[in-house]
Amino acid sequence: MNYLVLAIAPGLAICLFIFHRDAYNREPKLNMIVSFILGAAAILPAIYIESYFWYSSTESVSGIAIRAFFVVALTEELCKFAALRLYSYRQKSFDEPLDGIVYAVMVSMGFATVENIMYVDKYGLNVALVRMFLSVPAHAAFGVLMGYFVGKAKFSPGRSAKLMASGLCWAVFFHGTFDTLLFWQESPEMEDYIPDILLFTGAVISFIVALRLSWKHITIHRLLSQKTYMPVASLSLRRAYEKDVPLIRDLSLKIWPQTYSTILSAEQVDYMMNMMYSETSLLKQMKEDHEFIIVDDGKEPVGFASFGLTGPGVYKLHKIYVLPSRQGKGTGRFVINELLKAIARKGGSSLELNVNRNNKAKEFYEKLGFAVLREEDIDIGGGYFMNDYVMEKKL
């Protein structure tokens, strides 16, 4: 079990690292998991192809180099490239050059993790430690080199084939160089000319060069991501009408249970969904002067909100919810700021809202200038209560 942990840990650690480098427009976790799994599955055709051609190559110095470059490096990088190109590249979320690196590393780490498990299971602790600091990070570096060019290809239609080929060639070149220097240690011919320690050092140097290039490529695409990432630039609000009730219901089913699953019991969540978000209830709220709005990101609806006048100059934000994929990206802030502007134009003097006392959203509202007015426990029937803070922001 300890060996298995050692085999899996490096790949997962690198996945977490690259996930956090993609700070401005992160990819859906499901897409990254699928990419990792496809990378793991890509080892099967690689093993078959390598085993078929392995013994047809000679044990001469040149034969070993040919094996390293064309049997191992080319085969493995082609299999990883196939997973990247056929799945990750086609995802809607692949919307900036940095995503090429993110997905290529996920695929590479899936591949490297399975390979690592096989090696560690066969050779034990010493191999686990060496591969943790050398082979697995090397696969990540090769993935970055490939992904950098694939990311550029996605947004350069006229040059996409050339850029993809460049990415594959760079990955194969460094992979083949790395493996050649390691494989030559097993060559009797090479022992007469170059000591094993120098060959190993050469492999480490090739890895370091690939790593430095990878870091440079990550930095270039990350800076581009930072400059171009404007999460609210494409957002727009529109008033919702009765015809939009099914859409609001659908959005609430995607958002509400996940938002409150750690705060309320499953039974209370179901009860409140039926009470507040059935189509009948939503229609009734619209007729009671709850003004609903739909939040759209230019591609699809990503959230909704409702508000209404509750007293002279006092408006209440009854609801504001955005899809989990849009949370933490400024969408909620954008919606509230736009509502505040609209309320000010209507002559409003303050905006109130209720937030569950265990909901971390309270901190979000405080950052926007809301302050707690009082606590409120609302009997909603069925033996359930809404235990809220009432918060207010002066306009």
Domain ranges of the chain: 2-228, 236-394
**pLDDT at position 226:** 66
Q: Which residues 6+ apart lie within 8 Å of 60 measured at CB?
A: 187, 189
- The per-residue pLDDT string of the chain (395 residues; one tens digit each, 9 = 90 and over) reads 567 777 888 889 999 999 888 877 788 899 999 999 999 999 999 999 998 887 666 678 888 899 999 999 999 999 999 999 999 999 988 988 999 999 999 999 999 999 999 988 888 777 778 888 888 999 999 999 999 999 999 988 889 999 999 999 999 999 999 999 988 887 777 766 777 788 788 888 988 999 999 999 998 888 777 666 666 667 889 999 999 999 999 999 999 888 888 888 999 999 999 999 999 999 999 998 899 999 998 778 999 999 999 999 999 999 999 998 888 778 899 999 999 999 999 999 999 999 999 998 999 999 999 999 999 999 999 999 999 999 999 99
Q: Please indicate, yes or no, whether the overall pTM of this predicted structure exceeds 0.85.
A: no
Tokens of 301: 């609806």
What Å distances lie between residue 327 and 91, 301, 345, 359, CA to CA? 20, 14, 27, 14
3-state class (DSSP) for residue 58 = coil
CATH of 236-394, one of 3.30.70.890, 3.20.20.70, 3.30.70.940, 3.40.630.30: 3.40.630.30
Query: Which residue's structure tokens are 């009997």?
Result: 379
Q: For residue 95, what pLDDT is reported?
A: 85
* 90 Rama class: left (phi>0) / alpha (psi -120 to 50) / beta: alpha
Tokens 């409120």 belong to: 376
> What is the distance between the alpha carbons of residues 14 and 22, in angstroms, rounded to a whole number?
13
